[in-house]
Amino acid sequence: MSNSTLLVLRGVSKTFGTTTALSPMDLEIERGSFVSIVGPSGCGKSTLFNVLSGLLRPDGGTITLEGKDVIGATGHVGYMLQKDLLVPWRTVLGNITLGARLKGKVTPENREQATGFAEKYGLGEFLNHYPSALSGGMRQRVALMRTLATNHQLLLLDEPFGALDAQTRFEMQQWLLQVWRDTERTVLFITHDVDEAVFLSDRVLVMSPRPGRVVDDLRVDLPRPRTLDTLVSPAFTELKARVLHQLHRERAV
Amino acid sequence: MTKKKLLVNIFGPILSVVVLISIWQSIVTWGHVASYIAPKPFDAVRSVTSNWSTLAPLTWWTIKETVYGYLAGALLGAFLGVILSKIPLMQRVLYPLLILTQAIPIIALAPPLVMILGFGVMPKVVIVAWIVFFPVTVSVLDGLNHVDKDLLTLAKVFGANPLRRFVVLEMPAAVTQLFSGLKIGATYAVTGAIIGELAASSGSSLALYQRSASGSLDAAGVYGTTLIMTAIGIVWFLLVVGVEFLATPWQRRSTARRWRRGAKPVLPNN
């Protein structure tokens, strides 16, 4: 394990009754990397997230985050879902600082940090707005800022842009890359969209169901920053083809 | 709110009341209704103003019974809602009892209450609370049971303990529901107080005043008393609506009120 390894899984497994949701899995995630996970439903990607976030206790194995055993604990990762889950009675500022409130009091530093995020990423004018006044894309931005404001190195993003229209989605992807670069976080990103996975990531994990496991682990060495041109480059298409083949080969069996 | 909307909101209700009173007035005037059967609206009002020295303390009592009973009922109702939602066993144990309380005819409740609590304010307060708590309990229970499960999961991942989850997420999430229960309760409250006065009064009360007016064929007095009772109900309901308005700004505003803002305003045109 090198110094730059943030997260290590060794033999992590989980079964529900007779279904093996996650067969013993070894995985290392490098600090600062962007790793996507693709796979059909039932492949164990959600189980993996639930185990990592501490919602589920694995049947066996070890999970080490920044050198610490985190099995069964919560409060060590940022977490975001397709639903933005903004609370309607708190303003944008109040939603970004929700993590701090849930752990105790919101300090002036929390507010300052939240204000900083909002101003840097174009929501400065909306700090005192309620979520009902925001568009879908803006709401997802606030949700991501809330995730960032928990100040955890590891962010688990579960299809965060799944509900957005194609154009907003592309804008959000580029924005996410910018945020990721600025804040030097490590991202684990679940998606159904192969384009999205390849476009965003340093590494794509392809998972397969029955039993849930990783069947391919490919590096994406496309140059950054990535733009529209990335999406139509031959290298991109080649990687995408490989992921698609993996997905469909597994499904055909 | 735009100016036009505001005008509609204020004059709409006034207009409907004026129309109602006009209909009442014309039926009594042109329908040749005897004055001991139904008074003209202004005679009913005049009966109130000319007897105000007698009616004022009675009205005050009724208001007290309504308000105390309502507050007690609302607190009890909210508390029970929380208990029922948080302790599953309690749903089994308490829910049948709660249904039972509502199945008892309220009128039949008065005699035992008088035996226990006497003829003072207390039995009326208990009757009002008895009626008010139920819709509040049901609405709080409903509100708490419908908090987004994913939101609670998120809170868990963020490392929040159950108490914080409750205070920061579940309670505010149930507030909208809570107010629908509080509003239903508000419309019942004065009814409860009057039932209490009818069934558990020895001395003077609005309800007994009305009964004696009825006995002496004083239609203006009967209707006038009804006006007072109705006014108490309406004002109380409006107060609850006002509290809701202040307590849930996110339902009709796009930005937080200035004094609730956590951030320095950056709004250029505000």
- Break chain A into its structural domains and give their ranges: 83-151
Cβ <8 Å between B261 and A94:
no
Give tens-digit pLDDT for A116-132. Answer: 999 998 899 999 999 99
Give tens-digit pLDDT for B89-102. Answer: 988 899 899 999 99
CB distance from B155 to chain A under 8 Å?
yes
Cβ <8 Å between A91 and B262:
yes
Angle between helices B171-199 and B206-215 (to 10 degrees): 40
ipTM entry: 0.89
Q: What are the chain B neighbours of A79 within 8 Å (beta carbons)? A: 154, 157-158
Cβ <8 Å between B158 and A75:
yes
Question: Which H or E element spans position B201?
Answer: none
Q: What are the chain B neighbours of A133 within 8 Å (beta carbons)? A: 254-255
Give the C-alpha separation, A49 to B156, whole Å.
Answer: 13
Residue A105 in tokens: 């009091």
Q: What are the chain B neighbours of A89 within 8 Å (beta carbons)? A: 172-173, 175, 248, 250
**What CATH superfamily classification does B50-250 receive?**
MetI-like (1.10.3720.10)
Alpha carbon of B171 to those of A105, B89, B143, B152: distances in Å?
Answer: 17, 21, 9, 12
Angle at A228 between CA A227 and CA A231, to 5 degrees: 100
Closest CB from B255, B263, B267 relative to A111:
B263
Q: How confident is the model at residue B201 (pLDDT cuts 50, 70, 90)?
A: confident
Q: What are the chain A neighbours of B169 within 8 Å (beta carbons)? A: 87, 102
Q: What is the pLDDT of residue B4?
A: 82
Buried/exposed code over B41-64 (b: 16+ C-beta within 10 A; e: otherwise): bebbbebbeebeeebeebbebbbe
Q: What is the pLDDT of residue A175?
A: 93
pTM of the predicted structure, to 2 decimals: 0.86
Cβ <8 Å between B255 and A75:
no
Question: Which H or E element spans position A218?
Answer: strand A213-219
Query: Going by DSSP bridges, is the β-strand pair A203-208/A60-65 parallel, antiparallel, or unpaired?
Result: unpaired
Q: What is the pLDDT of residue B35?
A: 83
Closest CB from B159, B250, B268 relative to A132:
B250
**Closest approach of chain A CAs to the CA of B241, in angstroms?**
18
What is the domain partition of chain B in residue ranges? 50-250
Mean pLDDT (chain A) is 92
Low-confidence ranges of chain A (pLDDT < 50): 1, 253
Task: Answer yes or no: is pLDDT of B256 > 70.
Answer: yes
Residue ranges of A 75-114 with Cβ closer than 8 A to chain B? 75-77, 79, 81, 83, 85, 87-89, 91, 93-94, 97-99, 101-104, 106, 111
